[in-house]
Amino acid sequence: MESVVVPDDFPPILSGTAALKKLEQHARVTVYTQRASSPEELVRRLQGATVAVNIRAYSKFDEPLLRSCPGMKMIAVLGVGTDNIDLAAASRLGIQVTNTPGFSAVSVAEHTLALLMAAARKIPEHERELRAGRWTRLPMTQLHGKRVGIIGFGNIGRQFAGLAKGIGMEVWAWTFNPSPQRAEAAGIQFVEFDRLLSQSDVVAVTIKASEKTRGLLSRQAFEKMKPSCILVNTARASIVDTAAMMEALQTGKLAAAALDVYDREPLPADDPLLSLSNVVLSPHNAGMTPEAIERGNEMLVENVISFLQGKLINPVNG
């Protein structure tokens, strides 16, 4: 039987599941439930593996690692993002990469709305005041009638658009692949990037991370936003220039931010984001509902079993 290695099931998400048991019927599976202490340890874990199952984005599959694992033929990613993998190097080395598109779209879209509501109504700050024995009523933002600009319009963006419309928001979106048909089907309007930034009351980042989107929300982008704008990011931290965002939050150029993703994860206890009262934070758990996890594990295992049987589904690279 072929060797399948899961080097990064920490915190555990696949271990002990029906999906893992199914995979074990088709391959010899090794699961590591602690984070590798170094890139070298990650390489050691993957030695002899035909398939690597990538659970966490903190595991970096760069070209040196890929070249150090000559028997590897596939990397099966749980999730949509593949920014932790050198896809070009994988293609050159004949390594197929797959992902699980759409498995957590509903969950992440709901979380995006929850973060937005929490930021608009200043729920975390109000709760802190109440717990401290103070009856403080801070000014809040009504979202009904406001405009949300969604950056990226894949599975998550479409789901979030429906939720935003459901509470009475006007929805604009920007994507690399706009079309009148997509706009009509979703009941939204595609607009130019700068127009979205300058005329949206909320900017929600749901786009896939890539070299094309790295630093997309730059200092210049923040200068175009309304001072009353709320930023929500449930995609990847690399899409936003964190230093520019911090400056905008501290100087009143941006009203608030609601974040599920960070440059460093787990978020360090001394991270300056933690000191800002106009920031709402969650620990990169937008897609971690039981329903999403179960479906993601099922798709992940389906990808691996199909590959072992000579079929390819959900490919990412050529």
CA 286 – CA 106 distance, rounded (Å): 10
Locate 9 and state its tokens. Answer: 């099931």
CA nearest to 69, candidates 51, 88, 55: 51
- Contact of 57 with 79, CB cutoff 8 Å: yes
Cα torsion 297, 206, 116, 172 to 10°: value is -140
Give the number of other CB atoms < 10 A from CB of residue 249: 21
CA 215 – CA 213 distance, rounded (Å): 6
DSSP letters along 116-141, please? HHHHHTTHHHHHHHHHTT--------
Please identify every residue annotated as catalytic: 236, 265, 284
The residue type at 180: P
